[in-house]
Chain A
Amino acid sequence: MNSLGDQIRAYLPYQRRNAASLALLAFAMVLTLSAFAEVGLARDGNIPSGLFVYGGGLVVLAMAAYVVQAKFAPYADPLLLPLAVALNGLGLAMIYRLDLDTSRDHKVAEMAGKKLISDEANAGGQLMWTFVGIALFVTAVLIMRDTDRPDAKFSFTPKTAQRYTYIIGLGAIILLLLPIVPGIGASINGARVWIRVAGFSVQPGEFAKLLLVVFFAGYLVNKRQAMSLIGKKVGPISLPRARDLGPILVIWFFSLGVLFMQKDLGTALLYFGLFISMLYIATQRVSWVVIGLGLLAVGVFVATQLPFMGHVNQRIDIWQNPKPYFDGGCLLDSGKVVPVNPDTDLYKQAKAAGSSYPGFTACDKLGGEYSDSAQLMKGMFALGEGGVLGTGLGQGEPWRTPLSFSDFIFDSMGEELGLTGLMAILLVYALIVQRGMKTAVAARDPFLKLFAGGVSFVVALQVFVIVGGVTKLIPLTGLTTPFLSQGGSSLMANWILIAILVRMSHDARKPAPQAIQDEGMTQIVSTR
């Protein structure tokens, strides 16, 4: 086979790049420690004690991860670990910085005898989850064996998952449905994507994302031959056979289900986009992409027409013109959003009637649900405040945006690190995605190719949906920003994702097994 991967392997013999990896890791640590130092120096002129706890903690964890990677996956892509550590470290520094402000708000509120409803940035918790995340990375790299030695005892490789394709698919669906189950499902900040387990809030969707990639990869590897068969030809596009349309319709209904039940356009977009891209990789048929995009358009159109799907409309209305809803928007049952801001008669009437929250009262009178664009606009104001160079870590006021430490952490970064910092962060993400894609190209097995490609693309898509949302490029939906957002589920899932890529890149990049030359001219046959 004269594939690109073979060409790369033929002309560029892979080497261990552990020294490069270590140097980059050291740079990621310097970046993180500097970020912590700057927070302290800017706020009170001292190196903060958090530098030793949080920065030091991260350094120890990252070094452990490096040692394991160097020992057990020495041919792994040298960039993946340092990039993930840099993002994790920057996110931790930002959460630490936000924690200093929000916990102070908390104390002030406590002294005044009030209880703050909004949850707050929690640097200690994030450090703990970072620890768990990196521990999972270490474990995953340790237990996963090289794919070309499936005969080893207790072998567990990325390819092992292929055997359990349908069980994993079922698992993904169960995880996705868990938040809707009464009792363990929990609604936090209006989104029903959480479950409560032993006192912790877990976002099963983050893990389901990984399982779905495995399921899609396993399924498509089996069915890709059939699905790439050509049926009718319409114009320039070769349509697939009608009987092969089944799977894509199932996923489509499934995504619509997510959209309807969780009222979450972003997540639906993420799953469906992931499936289409993997379908395209597996079949090489552009027609699948066209069909997929058509189905997506139909789905979104239907969603905007259904009255009970007002959330989608509202997000779109707010995205197009957030201003009228800044001080108050009201989502009616008909799916329309009307402003109830202080300039409106409704607001004035409610105020004249003596209401202390005229916007809410006015919306109640209309029988709608209060929702405003304040969060999005405050995030945008944070970006504006940052400008090109940013205010500097610890010197802005990113805590003025609600959820500045999770959904809106990208805007918080934008305020304090500026356009310059955001470009760097986006480049880090882009590099992770590209290294993942390169691993997919270099992989020797179709399942692993799909697996690596899907995992890389899901990162790109997720970053696009959330970052595009908070920068008003597309309507806002709440997804986590990989490695930056506060939250254990997201950190754990993403560290596992990096571990899988590290293991697969090691597999792909290591030299082919050497022939044992004691039997004369016997040619070694590929073990694939």
Chain B
Amino acid sequence: MDKPIRRVAIFGMLLFFGLMVQVNYVQGSQAEKLRTDSANTRQYLNVFNNPRGQITASGEVLASSYPTGKDNPKYGRKYVDGMVFSPVTGYFNGGASKVELAYNALLSGTDKRITHQRWFDMFIGKKPEGANVELSIDPAAQRLAYRLLKNNTSRRAGAAVIDVKTGAVKVLSSSSSYDPNDVAPQTGEQGAKKLQQLDGMRGVIQPLIDNGMSQTFPPGSSFKTVVAAMAMDDLGMSSSTPVNTGPLILPESGKSLPNSHDSGSCGGTAPMLGAFAESCNTAFGRIALDAGIQKLHDESSKFGFNRKWNIEPMLKPAESDVPISFVGADGNKVDTGKDGTARSGIGQENVRATPLQMAMVAAAVANKGKIMQPYLVQKVTTKDQSTVYQADPKLFSQAMKSGTADQLEDMMRAVVNEGTAKNLIGQGIAGKTGTAEQGAGIPNARWFVGFSPMNNPRYAFAVVTEGTGDGASGAGPLAAQILAQVRK
């Protein structure tokens, strides 16, 4: 009977071999698929079981996890001044937005940069802890900016301040805003409902869409900075070139493109510097017509218009546009005609820009034509203080020639010293005003876009608020106060 016993023994081994193959298949090659299976609720439950890293700015803790003492969620998330910082931090409730989303893997401790470093912890079964994310934001200025924006208008307002040498975003503020504490994990069902409600808002006020980099507005006259850069770079003009500031009849419709005033520099002819300082529409309408919409489109592209780009991983600002054509109400593609080109030259028609984009335009002026890649996160450190990520200043684009930038710096200073923003004399900021019409019955988008300090500028900014009146009074004083705080 020994032979059949041996055969049965071998068959028994084959059974075990089959089991071993299957276990290897399941746990070896199928594990990742099982973990991410749509029916597997573990992947959603686990995110609340471990503390996430902190989000800080200038050492101040803005977002942190704390044990709830409950089973689910084990950890809640607390945001300091949520309304102020949510445009940058975003929210976390299992899903996430903004920096909470862009740095999710590092914050939750699942990123390879942490797990590889902490392989020994992994080996002994210690869960890697989430890393701390330090923002480039100046918290005091961010707070001031939010207060100013909120008090200025009941409609939308946004502000962005960039360090021109590095690209570090110092302020990215929005009103309206929302408090991420309201949707954090500890709020459970209620928070999920709140988030759904915020997401479903379709009016003018959409709190989840921040007005600093995720919302576009017509830039109005502040866009003349881009047109002037094009004139000097491509059309052989300079700040002293005389330009026709007299009345302009639009070639297609025969209507006139009005100036805000027809006196002073806008009275017939003036050097470009004067036309810029007093924001004469006709002069820049003519430059745009001379160059054509394609050239204007290409010029603006150098500043970051007309494309999506990442400010942080998975985080793209809204696209700013100078369209060559657009899709009309009837669904057909319509080319931007001559009239449209002239109006595009003064930042109207279908030109749209985020405050962050306009701050980048000003940054090019203040930094010899160079725009540094904007970023929100300065560095990421693990719990044991080793740095796993450090922002590395790099060139975003050379938007204009260095000499052009120098002349535009002078022109922006002239706006404050002798032009449309004389109310800001002595406040340490230079820039370009903008007052964009947004259609009948809708308040203007009031802009002030520029740099600070006046000489050897370090910061570029853009502030937009919606309301009646012009950019010099509607946005300028806000910018002056915010920049005074940033310079401190």
Given known contacts A395-B127, A450-B1, A433 and B9 CB-to-CB distance under 8 angstroms: yes
Q: Given contacts A384-B32, A400-B42, A464-B16, could you give 6 more A-B pairs where the C-beta distance is less than 8 Å?
A: A282-B1, A389-B123, A419-B27, A437-B12, A441-B6, A453-B1
Query: A437 CA to B8 CA in the complex, in Å?
Result: 8
Decide: B8 and A467 in contact? CB cutoff 8 A.
no
Given known contacts A5-B2, A277-B8, A385-B42, A473 and B27 CB-to-CB distance under 8 angstroms: no
Query: A3 CA to B3 CA in the complex, in Å?
Result: 9
Decide: B42 and A397 in contact? CB cutoff 8 A.
yes
Decide: A280 and B42 in contact? CB cutoff 8 A.
no
User: Closest CB of chain B to A324's CB: distance in Å?
Assistant: 10
Within 8 Å of chain B (Cβ to Cβ): is A482? no
Residues of B within 8 A of A135 (CB): none
CB neighbors of A among B201-240 (8 A): none
Within 8 Å of chain A (Cβ to Cβ): is B334? no
Decide: B12 and A460 in contact? CB cutoff 8 A.
yes
Given known contacts A392-B125, A437-B12, A456-B12, A384 and B40 CB-to-CB distance under 8 angstroms: yes
Residues of B within 8 A of A450 (CB): 1
Query: A282 CA to B33 CA in the complex, in Å?
Result: 46
Within 8 Å of chain A (Cβ to Cβ): is B35? yes
Name the residue of chain A whose CB is nearest to the CB of B16. Answer: A430
CB neighbors of B among A494-526 (8 A): none
Decide: A464 and B5 in contact? CB cutoff 8 A.
no
User: Closest CB of chain B to A253's CB: distance in Å?
Assistant: 24
CB neighbors of A among B439-480 (8 A): none
Query: A391 CA to B7 CA in the complex, in Å?
Result: 38
Decide: B9 and A437 in contact? CB cutoff 8 A.
yes
In the complex, 18 of the A-B residue pairs with CB atoms within 8 angstroms, ordered by the A residue number, are: A4-B6, A5-B2, A281-B8, A284-B3, A377-B39, A381-B34, A383-B27, A384-B26, A384-B37, A385-B35, A387-B31, A389-B123, A434-B9, A437-B5, A440-B5, A441-B2, A464-B18, A468-B18
Number of interface residues of B (CB under 8 A): 40
Residues of A within 8 A of B28 (CB): 387-388, 419
Stretch at the interface among A12-20, A360-368, A421-429: A421-429
**Which of B5, B18, B23, B39 is close to A327, meaning CB atoms less than 8 Å apart?**
B39
Residues of B within 8 A of A387 (CB): 27-28, 31
Query: A430 CA to B12 CA in the complex, in Å?
Result: 8
Decide: A284 and B1 in contact? CB cutoff 8 A.
yes
Within 8 Å of chain B (Cβ to Cβ): is A386? yes
Decide: A42 and B20 in contact? CB cutoff 8 A.
no
Within 8 Å of chain B (Cβ to Cβ): is A173? no
CB neighbors of B among A366-398 (8 A): 377, 380-381, 383-389, 391-392, 395, 397
Number of A-B contacts (CB under 8 A): 148
Decide: A395 and B12 in contact? CB cutoff 8 A.
no
User: Closest CB of chain B to A462's CB: distance in Å?
Assistant: 10
On chain A, which size bracket covers the interface? Answer: 35 or more
User: Closest CB of chain A to B458's CB: distance in Å?
Assistant: 50
Decide: A473 and B22 in contact? CB cutoff 8 A.
yes
Within 8 Å of chain B (Cβ to Cβ): is A414? yes
Point out residues on A near B: beta carbons under 8 Å: 3-5, 38, 42, 108, 277, 280-282, 284, 323, 326-327, 377, 380-381, 383-389, 391-392, 395, 397, 400, 414, 418-419, 422-423, 426-427, 429-430, 433-434, 437-438, 440-441, 446, 449-450, 453, 456-457, 460-461, 463-464, 467-468, 471-473
Name the residue of chain B whose CB is nearest to the CB of A446. Answer: B1
Residues of A within 8 A of B127 (CB): 395
Decide: B35 and A381 in contact? CB cutoff 8 A.
yes
Decide: B5 and A449 in contact? CB cutoff 8 A.
yes
Decide: A384 and B30 in contact? CB cutoff 8 A.
yes
User: Closest CB of chain B to A46's CB: distance in Å?
Assistant: 16
Nearest 8 pairs of A and B residues by beta carbon: A384-B34, A392-B125, A437-B9, A460-B12, A419-B27, A4-B2, A473-B22, A464-B15
Given known contacts A388-B28, A391-B125, A449-B1, A464 and B6 CB-to-CB distance under 8 angstroms: no
Decide: A388 and B125 in contact? CB cutoff 8 A.
no
Within 8 Å of chain A (Cβ to Cβ): is B200? no
Name the residue of chain A whose CB is nearest to the CB of B3. Answer: A284
Within 8 Å of chain A (Cβ to Cβ): is B254? no
Decide: A280 and B4 in contact? CB cutoff 8 A.
yes
**Which of B8, B18, B24 is close to A419, meaning CB atoms less than 8 Å apart?**
B24
Residues of B within 8 A of A449 (CB): 1-2, 5
Decide: A423 and B23 in contact? CB cutoff 8 A.
yes
Query: A103 CA to B130 CA in the complex, in Å?
Result: 30
Name the residue of chain B whose CB is nearest to the CB of A437. Answer: B9
Within 8 Å of chain A (Cβ to Cβ): is B252? no
Residues of A within 8 A of B35 (CB): 381, 384-385
User: Closest CB of chain A to B188's CB: distance in Å?
Assistant: 16
Given known contacts A414-B27, A450-B1, A467 and B19 CB-to-CB distance under 8 angstroms: yes
Residues of A within 8 A of B45 (CB): 397
Residues of A within 8 A of B15 (CB): 460-461, 463-464
